[in-house]
Structure 1
Amino acid sequence: MQLSTLLPLLALLATSTPTLASTHRRHSAKAVDHARAVGRLATAVERRQPVGEVAKPKRKVVRKRGTTCRAKTTASSEAQAAATTTSQAAATAAETSSTWVEPAENYTNGTNTSQAAQDSSSATSTSAAAAATTSASSNSTSTTGQYTPNGKKAGIAGGDAYDQCEDYIGWWYDWSANPSGHSGTPIAVPMLWGAGTVDSTDASRLSVFEAITTAPQYIMGFEEPDCSTWGSANIDVSTAAGLWNSLIGPFKAKGSTLISPSMCHQAAEQYIGWLASFEKQISVSWDITNIHVNKNNMDGVKADIDYYWNTFGKPIWVTEFACVDDSTDFVPCTDQSEINTYINEIVALFEADERVHAYAYSNGDGLGDVWPMYKNGALSESGQTYVTAISNVQH
């Protein structure tokens, strides 16, 4: 090649080499930045918290039958509820993951452009998939098996509407140690209501429970022991743990499925800590977490379920639910249209949520004149709405 031809080529090469090197450095920097971003995403998914965001403090007020419990400021339910999206994270670990929380939070990950990013995404996906497998396994008996009586989630708290509901419920209870007055397929669930110290009825229930010799299929422990209001058992943790260890725990070895005490404070129990302390003091743990839901919107219902699922990780029974505005006080719903909508929505929610294995319409006192499902010897409109809703899901 002639020198006159070679010199322009050498000049061109000398000019382009820094540009190529610079381009390579920019792409390498982008790859490193992306790898770091994916690493942050992996950490966020593991913590179930939106990337780059810090959970905002939230103040919550809960009222239960005359007592207001103002919760301490703490991390918002958005970060806690995000843990319920484990199965979604397994399917979309490298794309988008979201949770129902109001408003919904989104986690977004871009396209992998480096081996480091791919490795990070793979590790996240593997971890999420394992968690999802565990969750699916624990929920395998959501509609059949030992956690859902007769394969029907629906039940009633209180036996006065039993005859009208019998064909559509799998279980019932009446807050006593020996539910009686009805026979049929629905399973009667005995309960140790309290420590026998509240009144004569409480003392009688304790005596009847102590006389049980044959292990029942299910046993429920303590009616709202974390509150001192009317209708609640009001038991300190150590006393309740002692009674559980001596009277309830031994039935597990005999084949009974144990249902935890119910909490008066709903999701605000996280600030009280009664059930968490109780769990540490008992020798035999419960099989099913028992919760009460007094809300008038589905976001509130979901928040209650999420807290107990995320904290204790066990199948859930909602042994009482009612339409109540508890945002600032305990105010039962009185509008029939609102109640009818609420019943249809909450039944659909419970039936679709695999964490909930059973639920019961509360027909207890203190819920106003419109909510009770049975009045004057017949189903009320609210009761008929419930029967229609649960019958529809079974056809």
Structure 2
Amino acid sequence: MERRARALQLGGLAVAMAIPRLLATSCEEVWFTLAEIQGAEVTCGERIGFLQSPQGGFLTENEARAQVSLEVPGCEACWPWEKFREPGLSSRSAKRGIAIESFRLTKAALIGLASIVSWGCTWDYKVAGDPGPGLEDWEAAGIEFIPMIWGSDTIPLAAASGLPNRSLALLGFNEPNFPSQSKLEPWEAASFWPSLEQLASDHGITEIISPSMNYHPDKDPVQWLEEFFAICDPMGCKVDGIAMHVFACYGAGLKAHLDRYRKFGKPLWVTEIACSDPYTPERLSAEGQMAYMKEAVPLLEQDPDVKMYAWFSYFKDQWAHPIVDGLNGDAGLVNPDGTLSPLGALYDTFAHTNLT
């Protein structure tokens, strides 16, 4: 597996050693807090102690604290690394991005995002341009536009119109295991893959990322990828990373998704992330999204297997269908006039392991 930092294995979660600094611990303040895990009452301290034992996996203290902070309600203060950056530090995370539809993006919004994100995607192979921002506006903001070949029908369009030259990467098909998205069987995607390789080569793009997978009850995304690679690997397909979409609402759920995709041994691109789960409506609001973001972003930043991640910037009135009881996630980061939402302002505050 490609790695950019020496890593610890935290119950399946790789945690980077190259962390700016450890927090002044506050775990002791919740050490005796009672919580329930696996049907039993346990204190934060007892769970940390168990995970350090041979029966619990023989984790180091910091590994155990990190795992407990994710899995045990009430023990969040035990996360051992800095979550927020030093005041006044203005450099951006090279990992941090935004997923946003072209028609919702304005020049002012790009300027507003310039200090926060290093890259973005719009589910398109090109920058839409007038009346929205053009490629020159992305470049002026210092934000890398990452093109996507959304579906098989996109291939001839991109071949005719071209891609931005020397982009950082080319994203593969969007959610092919969904009938409402690119809807491709693994063998179909594999048969089209040489065309993506040719497009990338023609435009000086050196990395090609897998189809972007999302959970679907009728077609498991990991199984889909297994079938895809079973066909594509013998063909010598170039796939430099695994793209995934995660709409869990708690850090432990995000961790579980990341762990499933590690089996492919490639850098992970979390190209859509926000809370959008009908079983956790308490986190669909802007306040709930903020609570989730405080768990998710530090986890993504500390994980050396995660190369890129992009927050799915949708306000509650922008979703096509309600998630539950007429509600949708209020996950937007930036307004058309360039002002940040409270969630966008929070996105700007997190510590990072990898700077631009």
Q: Fold match, TM over 0.5?
A: yes
Q: Contact 1:294 / 1:326 at 8 angstroms: preserved in 2?
A: no
> 1:351-366 counterparts in 2 under 5 A?
351-364=301-314, 365-366=318-319
Q: Contact 1:262 / 1:290 at 8 angstroms: preserved in 2?
A: yes
Post-superposition offset of 1:356: 0.9
Partners of 1:268 and 1:303 in 2: CA distance: 19
CA offset digits 1:91-144 (Å, max 9, x no partner): xxxxxxxxxxx767858559xxxxxxxxxxxxxxxxxxxxxxxxxxxxxxxxxx
Corresponding residue number in structure 2 for 1:152: 94
Corresponding residue number in structure 2 for 1:216: 167
> Does residue 207 of structure 1 match 2:157?
yes
**Quick check: 374-383 or 254-263, which moved more?**
374-383
Tell which structure's C-alpha radius of gyration is larger: 1
Corresponding residue number in structure 1 for 2:350: 389
> Does residue 193 of structure 1 match 2:150?
yes
- Tell me the matched-pair count: 252
Partners of 1:261 and 1:238 in 2: CA distance: 12
Corresponding residue number in structure 2 for 1:335: 285
> 1:217-256 counterparts in 2 under 5 A?
217-229=168-180, 232-248=181-197, 251=200, 256=206
Partners of 1:194 and 1:167 in 2: CA distance: 32
CA offset digits 1:221-277 (Å, max 9, x no partner): 011111013xx2112222211211223367369551111111121799657621111
Gaps of 5+ in 1: 1-80, 89-101, 111-149, 197-202
Partners of 2:54 and 2:296 in 1: CA distance: 34
Quick one: which of 352, 370, 373 aligns to 2:330?
370
Corresponding residue number in structure 2 for 1:39: none
Post-superposition offset of 1:151: 6.3
Q: Contact 1:267 / 1:308 at 8 angstroms: preserved in 2?
A: no
CA offset digits 1:127-166 (Å, max 9, x no partner): xxxxxxxxxxxxxxxxxxxxxxx96111111262422111
| SS across alignment from 1:172 | strand
Partners of 2:151 and 2:286 in 1: CA distance: 34
After TM superposition, which residue ranges in structure 1, 4 or more long, deviate above 4 angstroms?
Answer: 81-88, 102-110, 252-255, 266-272, 390-395
Corresponding residue number in structure 2 for 1:302: 255
Q: Contact 1:237 / 1:278 at 8 angstroms: preserved in 2?
A: yes
Partners of 1:287 and 1:215 in 2: CA distance: 16
| SS across alignment from 2:174 | coil
Return closer, same or farther for 1:212/1:342 CA change in 2, 3 Å cut-off.
same
Structure number with higher relative contact order (C-alpha < 8 Å, ≥ 6 residues apart): 2
Post-superposition offset of 1:305: 0.5
| SS across alignment from 1:291 | strand
Post-superposition offset of 1:85: 6.8
CA offset digits 1:191-242 (Å, max 9, x no partner): 100122xxxxxx5x7503554374533100011111013xx21122222112
CA offset digits 1:45-89 (Å, max 9, x no partner): xxxxxxxxxxxxxxxxxxxxxxxxxxxxxxxxxxxx84557999x
Partners of 2:170 and 2:111 in 1: CA distance: 23
> Does residue 183 of structure 1 match 2:138?
yes
Post-superposition offset of 1:186: 1.8
Counterpart AA for 1:338: G
> 1:316-335 counterparts in 2 under 5 A?
316-327=268-279, 333-335=283-285
Aligned Cα root-mean-square deviation (Å): 3.8
Q: Contact 2:170 / 2:209 at 8 angstroms: preserved in 1?
A: yes
Q: Contact 2:213 / 2:221 at 8 angstroms: preserved in 1?
A: no
Corresponding residue number in structure 2 for 1:172: 120
Q: Contact 2:177 / 2:221 at 8 angstroms: preserved in 1?
A: no
Partners of 2:156 and 2:346 in 1: CA distance: 35
CA offset digits 1:331-352 (Å, max 9, x no partner): 6943332221211221111111
